[in-house]
A and B are shown apart, each in its own frame.
Chain A
Amino acid sequence: MGCIPTKTLVGSAKAIQIAQRGEEFGFRSPSPEVDWTRIRARKDAIVASILLRKEQFLEKNPRIDLVRGTARFLGPNRLSIDGREIETDKVIVASGVAPFVPDIPGLTEVGFETNETVMDLEELPGSMVIIGGGPEGMEFCQLFHRFGVKVTVLQRQDRILPREDEEMSRALLEILQEEGIDIRTSASTMQVERLPGGKLALEVEIAGRSERFECDRILVAAGRRPHNLAYMELEAAGIEGDPQRGIHIGEALQTSAPNAWAVGDVIGRMQMTHFAVYAAGIAVANALKGEAMAFDTTRVPGTVFTDPEVASVGLTEKEASAQGRSVKVGKQLMRKVGRARAIGETVGFVKIVVDEDTEKLLGMQILSHAAGELLPQGILMLQTEDRSIAPLTDSIYVHPTLSEGVKAAATNLKPLEAVSTSTGNLED
């Protein structure tokens, strides 16, 4: 669904958070009463309208046959779908992913939720443990916390959002903990059991010590793996793949079979809708026009939709240094940005990573309100030939906007030339 369902919940959760800030913004109202049924109904209506449109598009297009059923290969050019056989010249596999369930004793027996089920629960649980501290775990923990659930996150690695800039992971961790969410890192769940009375108990090892957690529900948000490759009988088509990495592809998205390509989550990396859509364009050109366009992951952006959001494109400071480059970083705190103060969203900062020798932009990471909306400034700059950040520093930005934080970060690469009014830069 392209993540729309969680984003509708993010919308509801943010509205609830603002409703609790009457003292800050100047209104009096009793604490909002969360109506989970209504939150779900809103989500379902929005999702249904999008799904319906997509289905209608497929059904109405005269060139497209929507075949419902489970596909199984009989050969490189033959498929059986629940008994009906079809022949095809080319194949593109876009079968997606399913939640990865870690092998924890007792987990399957006691039962758990995943991203596919948790948003459809009839009632909110009183308490929930979330296994997984990546983007999914972080989005869900804040949502459910704002809906009134007592949430604990258990992250196996030593930091949340391990693929993001380290400074930003740590900053977000503090922000979420300050909001009241219990987040534990270096936490490995060893065993799960159901107690008499119905609650679930987890035995967890945290940095060498054993700790016990109890909750009403467990949410597994430990990543996703390619859907059930086995039932497709890929070998019959000569397509190689495995449950961990998904379908094996070359740089032009081609599989080991000369007439088959793969796109989207099933190729086991960059599990984001916009990457699937980008890959789709490449695969179709390669499959139908005989081209061999390569896909490029270095400029694929991403955003974690927590509040504040974490948005990133290109290399982090650490990644760039690891490549042996001389790196300089331009930074701007959001609390110095006028618009951020005006709307009461002052947490976070912008980081612009530049190669010191070539002055070229290498990456941009933003932790802020609407960071995902600010990110295209970096996305666009990375696509230019010279990757210069001059447009960021030289353009006239509207004042007051959050984007001035991006301009200021770029300008701060040359601090002596920075003029506070031209960047909308406020003193502390």
Chain B
Amino acid sequence: MENHYDLAVIGAGMGGIEVASRAAQMDARVAIIEHGKVGGT
């Protein structure tokens, strides 16, 4: 794990996961932060 990212996504619900996925496809280094269940409510 590292400490510098191109993009930080707050929340790994359906929106956040889509963001992380697309950003990763664009070669960005992404941190996605989730304090509950991945996938959201």
Residues of A within 8 A of B (CB): 1-2, 47, 50-51, 54-55, 57-58, 61, 63-71, 79, 81, 85-98, 115-116, 227, 232, 263-266, 273, 276-277, 279-281, 283-284, 287-289
The one of B24, B27, B39 that contacts A1, using a Cβ cutoff of 8 Å: B39
- Given A58-B38, A64-B24, A67-B32, A277:B14 Cβ within 8 A: yes
Top 10 closest pairs, chain A to chain B, by CB: A264-B15, A276-B15, A280-B18, A94-B16, A88-B8, A63-B24, A94-B11, A94-B15, A95-B11, A70-B35
Greatest chain A CB density within 10 A among B1, B14, B22 is at B14
Chain A interface mostly:
mixed
The one of A47, A66, A89 that contacts B7, using a Cβ cutoff of 8 Å: A89
Sample 23 A-B pairs with CB under 8 A, ordered by A number.
Answer: A1-B14, A2-B14, A54-B12, A54-B39, A63-B24, A63-B29, A65-B30, A66-B12, A66-B34, A69-B35, A71-B10, A79-B33, A88-B7, A92-B16, A94-B15, A95-B13, A265-B15, A266-B11, A273-B14, A276-B14, A287-B7, A288-B28, A289-B26
The one of A94, A97, A98, A281 that contacts B9, using a Cβ cutoff of 8 Å: A94
Q: Count B interface residues, CB 8 Å.
A: 39
Check B15 against A58 for contact (C-beta < 8 Å).
Answer: no
Residues of B within 8 A of A (CB): 1-24, 26-35, 37-41
For B27, what are the chain A residues with a Cβ–Cβ distance below 8 Å? Answer: 63
Please measure, in the bound complex, the distance between the C-alpha atom of A289 and the C-alpha atom of B20, giving whole angstroms.
Answer: 15
- Given A1-B40, A263-B19, A71:B33 Cβ within 8 A: yes
For A283, what are the chain B residues with a Cβ–Cβ distance below 8 Å? Answer: 19
Check B20 against A58 for contact (C-beta < 8 Å).
Answer: yes
Check A79 against B30 for contact (C-beta < 8 Å).
Answer: no
Question: Shortest distance in angstroms between A253's beta carbon and chain B's nearest beta carbon?
Answer: 11
Question: Shortest distance in angstroms between A383's beta carbon and chain B's nearest beta carbon?
Answer: 20
For B40, what are the chain A residues with a Cβ–Cβ distance below 8 Å? Answer: 1-2, 96
Q: How many A-B residue pairs have CB under 8 A?
A: 165
Greatest chain A CB density within 10 A among B10, B27, B38 is at B10
Question: Shortest distance in angstroms between B8's beta carbon and chain A's nearest beta carbon?
Answer: 4
Greatest chain B CB density within 10 A among A86, A91, A95, A273 is at A95
Please give 11 more A-B residue pairs, beta carbons under 8 A apart, in addition to A90-B7, A92-B8, A92-B10.
Answer: A51-B37, A54-B17, A63-B24, A63-B28, A64-B31, A66-B12, A71-B8, A89-B6, A89-B7, A96-B11, A280-B16
Nearest residue in B to A61 (C-beta to C-beta)?
B24
Check B38 against A87 for contact (C-beta < 8 Å).
Answer: no
For B26, what are the chain A residues with a Cβ–Cβ distance below 8 Å? Answer: 284, 288-289
Question: Shortest distance in angstroms between B23's beta carbon and chain A's nearest beta carbon?
Answer: 5
Question: Shortest distance in angstroms between B26's beta carbon and chain A's nearest beta carbon?
Answer: 5
Please measure, in the bound complex, the distance between the C-alpha atom of A227 and the C-alpha atom of B30, giving whole angstroms.
Answer: 22
Check A51 against B39 for contact (C-beta < 8 Å).
Answer: yes
Question: Shortest distance in angstroms between A261's beta carbon and chain B's nearest beta carbon?
Answer: 9
For B22, what are the chain A residues with a Cβ–Cβ distance below 8 Å? Answer: 280-281, 284
Question: Shortest distance in angstroms between A239's beta carbon and chain B's nearest beta carbon?
Answer: 10
